[in-house]
C-alpha cells in the first residue's frame, strides 16, 4: 500500500523544523538566510510559507500518476511501490521536460552548476523503504505533517473535516487532483493563495493521460502510414514503369 | 591568399566571435549565467526557436521528397536537392542547438539506452536521430555524384524508395509530436494555444512552412548564386502554399469554434495581441496576397508572401513556447543577449554551410546555371560572398 504525508495547515506553528530536517536528510545547506527564503529551489526541497499568520508547506506531491516520470525521455524519474517519486541523476540528460510537465512546478534546477541536477523532495525513499517516517514528519512537533498509509490518512483527514467543519475548508487537496497525490493537505485558507494550482484548473485526470492518448496510437499508426506511403510510391512508379515499357515497345515497333 | 573584407563578412565574423564568447559562458559558467531561464521558465528561446522553429523550418525536405518521389510531381524536381540539403543542415543544427540547451549534453547518448516509451520527448528524440540519418543518406548522392562514384550511386538508388517512405513516416511522427510535447501541460499553457489538436496543428504548419521555405530558399539562392528562377516551380509551390494555408486556417477556426473561444480571442489582452500578430502574419496577409493571380505569378511577391508565412508560423511557435506560459508563471521571460547570440550563431553557421555545399556539390541542376557564375564563386571557396549575402537576410 502506498505511503503518504498528511499536512494539516491548521496545526502548523511555522517552526520550520521540517525545512532544516529535510536539509540535513538530503545534505543540503541550511542557515538563517536559507530559512528566510520563501521559495523552493535546488537547495530547498520544502518551504513553509506564511500568509496572515497562517502557514502552508510546499513539497513535491508524489502524484499517483506522476507527470514528471511520464515525461522524462530517459526515465530518470519513477514512482516506487511505497509511494515516493524518485530521481536517478545518472540517467538525466537535462532536458528539463519534467519541470515544464509537472503541474505543481516541483522539480527545480541547479542553474549555476556545470553538470546540473534536477532537485525536488524525494520523500526520503530510503527511510520509507526501511519502514521509517520521512525526516520532516518525524521532527514535526505538532503532528501537522503526518506520515502513514495513504488510505489511513485519507480516513483521518475526513474525520478531522467532519469533527471540526468550522476550522477547515471542506476539501482534502490531493485526494483527487491530477488523479490523486501522496501529499494530502487540509487547511483553513485556500491552498491556491500560496501558489498551489487551483483544483479546477488541474482537474482530476492524471496528466500523463493527455499525452498517453496520442502516444498509444503510434504503434498502430506506424504500419498503416508506412503501407499508405509505400502504396502511393508503388502506384505512382508503376505508372511510370508501364509508360516506359510502352514507349519502349512503340520504339521497337516503329523501328521494325 | 588575400581575403577581402566585405560588409557581410565582417557581420559574419562579429556573429561568430559573440557566439563563441556566449558558448564559453554556457559551458564554463553554466545555463544560469548564459540565459534568463529560471525554475519558473525552464524552457526558453533555445527550445522555442532553435528546436520548435528549427525542425519546422526544415520540413521542406520531406515535403519536397514526398511531392516529387511519392506523387511524381516532376516539375518540382529541381528543388528537391536544395530542400533535402536545407533539411539535413537544419537537423544537424537542431542537434547542435540541443547541445547548448541540454543541461548534461555529454549524456545525450542515454537516450539510446534508457528509453521511456511513455515520453513524447523520447519519441521526438528517437525520430529526429533516425531521420537525420535518413537525411544523410538522402544527401549522400550529391557527394557520390561529385566524385563520380558509379557503384555507390547505383546502390543508393536501390535503397531510395525505403529512405523516402521512412523519411516521410518519421517526419510525420516527430513534426506532430513536437506539438504533443505540450499536451501534458493543460493547466500551464494559455488556452489560446493549448488544444488537444496541437499535434495536428504542428503537422499542418510544418507542411505550409515546408512549402514557404522552399519558395524562400529558391529565390534566395537564385539571388545569391545568380541562378535562373524557374517560374513554373514557384507558381506550383505558391498554389500549394495557398491551399495549405487555407487548410491550416480552417482547422484553427474549427478548433476555436469547438472550444468556444471565438469571442475570447477578439477581446484585447496580452496574449490576444500576440495571437492577432500571429494570425495576421500566418493567415490574413499571405492568404490575401496569394489569392491574387498576379501575386502567384510574380516571383518577388511570392517571395514576400513566403516570408510573411515563415514569420507567422515562427510567431506561432514562440507564442506556444514562451508567451503562452507568461500568465501562468506570472512574469515575462526575455532572453538574455547571450541566448540570442548563440541562436544567431547557429543560424549563420547554417547559411554558411549551405553556401559551401552549393559551391562544392551538384545541389542545383547543372543546366540551370548561368554560364559564368559557378566558376566565379569557386574562386572564393570558404567565405563566399554569396553565403554572406544570405547570412544577412
Ligand atoms: S508533483 Fe510534480 S515532481 Fe512531484 S511527483 Fe507530481 S509531477 Fe512529479
Ligand atoms: S531534465 Fe532530466 S529528469 Fe527531467 S525530464 Fe529531462 S532527462 Fe528527465
Ligand atoms: S519527505 Fe523527505 S525529502 Fe521530502 S520534504 Fe520531507 S524530509 Fe524533505
Order of strands across the sheet that contains A3-8: A145-149, A3-8, A183-186
Mean pLDDT of B88-106: 95
The Cβ of residue A112 has, within 10 Å, a number of other Cβ atoms equal to 12
Whether B158 has a pLDDT exceeding 70, the answer reads: yes
A62: left (phi over 0), alpha (psi -120 to 50) or beta: left
Given B28, B29, B42, which is nearest A99 (Cβ)?
Answer: B42
Q: Mean of the pLDDT values across residues B35-45?
A: 94
pLDDT band of residue B77 (cuts 50, 70, 90) is confident
Q: CA torsion sign, A80 to A83 to A84 to A87?
A: positive
Quick: pLDDT tens for B331-383: 899 999 999 999 999 999 999 999 889 888 888 875 444 433 333 333 333 33
Q: Is the CB of A25 under 6 A from ligand 3?
A: yes
Q: Give the cell for residue B68.
A: 516529387
- What pLDDT is attached to residue A106? 96
Whether B72 and A237 lie within 8 Å, measured CB to CB: yes
User: CA-CA distance, B109 to A14, in Å (whole number)?
Assistant: 45
Judging by beta carbons within 10 Å of its beta carbon (0-12, 13-18, 19+), is residue A80 exposed, middle or buried? Answer: middle
Q: Is the pLDDT of residue B226 over 90?
A: no
Using CA positions, which residue lies closest to atom 6 of ligand 3?
A136
Residues in Cβ contact with B105 at an 8 Å cutoff, skipping those fewer than 6 apart: A93, A94, B98, B99
Tell me which residues of chain A, numbers 106 to 125, contact chain B at a CB-CB cutoff of 8 Å.
Answer: 108-109, 111-116
Name every protein residue with a CB atom under 6 angstroms from any ligand 1 atom: A 60-63, 66-68, 85, 102, 104, 106-107, 120
- Given a contact cutoff of 8 angstroms between Cβ atoms, the answer to whether A42 and A119 are in contact is yes
Q: Name every residue whose Cβ is closer than 8 Å to that of residue B340 and which is 6 or more positions away in sequence.
A: B45
Which residue of B28, B105, B185 is in closest CB contact with A100?
Answer: B185
> CA-CA distance, B184 to B98, in Å (whole number)?
21
DSSP state of A179: G
Quick one: which ligand is closest to A69's CA?
Answer: 1
Check pLDDT > 90 for residue B255. yes
What cell does B124 get?
Answer: 521526438
Residue B118 CA: which ligand is closest? 2
pLDDT recorded at residue B220: 85
By three-state DSSP, how is residue B145 classified?
helix
What's phi and psi for A77, nearest 5 deg?
-100, 140
Q: Which of B299, B191, B208 is nearest to B246 (CA)?
A: B208
For chain B, say whether A161 makes contact (Cβ under 8 Å): no
Domain covering B7-389 in this structure, CATH number: 1.20.1630.10
Question: Residue B68: is its pLDDT beyond 60?
Answer: yes
For a substitution probing ligand 3, which of A41, A45, A122 has the most ligand atoms within 8 Å of its CB?
A45
Dihedral angle computed from the Cα positions of residues B12, B15, B17 and B21, in that order, rounded to the nearest 10 degrees: -160
Q: Do A95 and B165 touch (CB under 8 A)?
A: no
User: Which residues in chain B are contacts of A120 at CB distance < 8 A?
Assistant: none
Q: Which residues contact B188 (CB under 8 A, 6 or more apart)?
A: A100, A103, B325, B328
Mean pLDDT (whole number) for B259-279: 94
CA A145 to chain CA centroid, Å, is 20
Q: Answer yes or no: is the C-beta of A26 below 6 A from any ligand 3 atom.
A: yes
Mean pLDDT of chain B: 88
Is the CB of residue A202 less than 8 Å away from at least one CB of chain B?
yes
Average pLDDT estimate for B183-188: 95
Cell 488510505 -> residue: A151
Pairing of strands A108-109, A118-119: antiparallel
**Which has the higher per-residue pLDDT, A205 or B157?**
A205
- Report the gap between the CA of B83 and the closest CA in chain A (Å): 20
Q: What does the pLDDT read at residue B379?
A: 34
- Judged against a pLDDT cut of 90, whether residue A104 lies above it is answered with yes
- Mean pLDDT, range B274-301, rounded to an integer: 94
The CA distance from B212 to the nearest CA of chain A, in Å, is 23
pLDDT tens digits for range A152-194: 999 999 999 999 999 999 999 999 999 999 999 999 999 999 9
Q: Which atom of ligand 3 is nearest to the CA of A25?
A: 7
Residue A255 pLDDT: 53
Mean pLDDT across the stretch B191-211? Answer: 96
Rg (chain B; Cα; Å): 21
pLDDT digits (tens, 9 = 90+) for A42-67: 999 999 999 988 999 999 999 999 99
Percent of residues, chain B, with pLDDT higher than 90: 71
Residue extents of the structural domains in chain B: 7-389
Cell of A95: 532536458
In this prediction, does ipTM exceed 0.85?
A: yes
* pLDDT recorded at residue B3: 65
What pLDDT was estimated at residue A245? Answer: 81
Over residues A184-221, the pLDDT tens digits come to 999 999 999 999 999 999 999 999 999 999 999 999 99
List the one residue out of B23, B253, B341 whose CA is nearest residue B31. Answer: B23
- For residue B70, pLDDT beyond 80: yes
Residue in A with minimal Cα distance to B72 = A236
pLDDT-derived band at A238, boundaries 50, 70, 90: confident
CB contact under 8 A, B119 and A73: yes
The Cβ of residue B168 has, within 10 Å, a number of other Cβ atoms equal to 25
- The whole-model pTM stands at 0.90
Cα B96 versus chain centre, distance:
14
Residue with cell 526558453: B44
Q: Residue B219's Cα: distance from chain center in Å?
A: 16
Has residue B385 got a pLDDT over 70?
A: no
Closest-approaching ligand to the CA atom of A44: 3
Grid cell 535518413 is found at B134
Q: How far is A17 from chain B (nearest CA, A)?
A: 25
Chain B residue with minimum CA distance to A114: B30
Q: Which of A42, A60, A88, A93 to mutate to test the interface with B (most CBs of B within 10 A)?
A: A93
Amino acid at each position: 500500500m502506498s505511503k503518504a504525508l498528511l499536512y494539516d495547515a491548521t496545526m502548523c506553528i511555522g517552526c520550520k523544523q521540517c525545512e532544516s530536517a529535510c536539509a540535513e536528510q538530503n545534505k543540503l545547506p541550511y542557515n538563517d538566510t536559507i530559512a528566510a527564503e520563501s521559495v523552493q529551489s535546488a537547495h530547498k526541497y520544502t518551504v513553509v510559507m506564511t500568509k496572515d499568520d497562517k502557514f502552508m508547506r510546499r513539497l513535491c506531491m508524489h502524484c499517483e500518476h506522476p507527470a514528471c516520470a511520464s515525461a522524462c525521455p530517459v526515465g530518470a524519474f519513477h514512482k516506487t511501490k511505497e509511494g515516493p517519486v524518485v530521481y536517478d541523476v545518472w540517467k538525466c540528460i537535462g532536458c528539463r521536460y519534467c519541470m515544464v510537465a509537472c503541474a505543481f512546478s516541483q522539480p527545480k534546477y541547479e542553474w549555476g552548476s556545470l553538470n546540473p541536477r534536477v532537485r525536488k523532495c524525494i520523500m526520503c525513499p530510503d527511510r520509507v523503504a526501511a519502514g521509517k517516517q520521512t525526516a520532516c514528519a518525524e521532527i514535526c512537533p505538532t503532528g501537522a505533517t503526518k506520515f502513514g498509509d495513504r488510505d489511513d490518512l485519507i480516513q483521518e483527514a475526513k474525520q478531522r473535516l467532519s469533527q471540526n467543519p468550522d476550522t477547515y475548508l471542506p476539501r482534502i487537496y490531493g485526494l483527487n487532483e491530477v488523479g490523486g497525490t501522496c501529499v494530502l493537505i487540509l487547511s483553513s485558507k485556500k491552498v491556491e493563495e500560496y501558489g498551489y494550482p487551483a483544483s479546477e484548473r488541474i482537474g482530476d485526470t492524471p496528466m500523463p493521460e493527455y499525452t498517453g492518448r496520442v502516444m498509444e496510437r503510434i504503434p498502430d499508426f506506424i504500419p498503416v502510414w508506412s503501407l499508405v506511403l509505400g502504396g502511393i510510391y508503388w502506384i505512382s512508379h508503376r505508372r511510370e514503369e508501364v509508360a516506359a515499357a510502352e514507349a519502349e515497345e512503340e520504339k521497337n515497333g516503329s523501328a521494325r | 591568399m588575400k581575403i577581402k573584407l566585405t560588409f557581410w563578412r565582417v557581420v559574419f565574423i562579429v556573429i561568430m566571435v559573440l557566439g563563441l564568447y556566449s558558448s564559453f559562458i554556457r559551458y564554463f559558467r553554466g545555463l544560469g549565467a548564459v540565459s534568463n531561464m529560471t525554475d519558473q521558465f525552464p524552457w526558453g528561446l533555445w527550445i522555442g526557436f532553435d528546436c520548435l522553429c528549427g525542425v519546422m523550418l526544415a520540413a521542406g525536405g520531406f515535403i519536397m521528397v514526398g511531392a516529387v518521389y511519392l506523387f511524381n510531381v516532376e516539375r518540382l524536381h529541381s528543388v528537391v536537392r536544395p530542400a533535402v540539403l536545407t533539411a539535413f543542415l537544419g537537423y544537424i543544427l537542431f542537434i547542435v542547438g540541443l547541445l547548448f540547451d541540454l543541461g548534461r549534453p555529454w549524456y545525450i547518448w542515454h537516450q539510446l539506452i534508457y528509453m521511456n516509451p511513455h515520453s513524447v520527448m523520447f519519441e521526438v528524440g528517437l525520430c529526429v536521430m533516425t531521420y537525420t540519418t535518413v537525411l544523410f543518406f538522402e544527401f549522400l548522392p550529391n557527394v557520390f555524384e561529385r566524385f563520380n562514384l558509379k557503384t555507390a550511386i547505383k546502390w543508393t538508388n536501390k535503397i531510395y524508395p525505403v529512405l523516402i517512405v521512412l523519411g516521410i513516416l518519421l517526419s510525420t511522427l516527430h513534426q506532430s509530436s513536437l506539438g504533443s510535447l505540450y499536451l501534458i501541460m493543460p493547466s500551464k499553457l494559455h488556452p489560446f494555444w493549448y488544444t488537444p489538436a496541437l499535434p495536428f496543428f504542428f503537422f499542418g504548419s510544418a507542411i505550409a512552412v515546408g512549402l514557404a521555405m522552399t519558395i524562400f530558399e529558391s529565390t534566395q539562392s537564385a539571388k545569391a548564386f545568380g541562378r535562373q528562377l524557374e517560374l513554373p516551380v514557384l507558381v506550383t509551390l505558391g498554389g500549394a502554399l495557398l491551399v495549405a494555408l487555407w487548410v491550416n486556417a480552417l482547422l484553427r477556426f474549427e478548433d476555436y469554434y469547438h472550444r468556444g473561444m471565438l469571442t475570447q480571442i477578439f477581446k484585447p489582452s496580452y496574449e490576444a495581441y500576440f495571437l492577432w500578430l500571429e494570425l495576421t502574419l500566418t493567415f490574413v496577409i499571405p492568404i490575401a496576397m496569394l489569392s491574387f493571380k498576379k501575386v502567384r505569378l510574380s516571383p518577388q511577391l511570392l517571395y514576400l508572401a513566403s516570408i510573411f508565412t515563415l514569420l507567422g508560423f515562427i510567431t506561432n511557435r514562440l507564442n506556444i513556447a514562451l508567451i503562452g506560459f507568461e500568465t501562468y508563471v506570472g512574469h515575462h521571460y526575455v532572453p538574455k543577449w547571450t541566448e540570442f547570440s548563440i541562436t544567431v550563431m547557429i543560424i549563420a553557421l547554417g547559411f554558411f554551410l549551405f553556401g559551401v555545399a552549393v559551391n562544392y556539390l551538384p545541389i542545383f541542376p547543372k543546366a540551370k546555371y548561368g554560364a559564368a557564375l559557378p566558376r566565379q564563386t569557386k574562386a572564393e571557396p570558404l567565405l563566399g560572398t554569396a553565403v554572406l549575402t544570405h547570412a544577412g537576410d
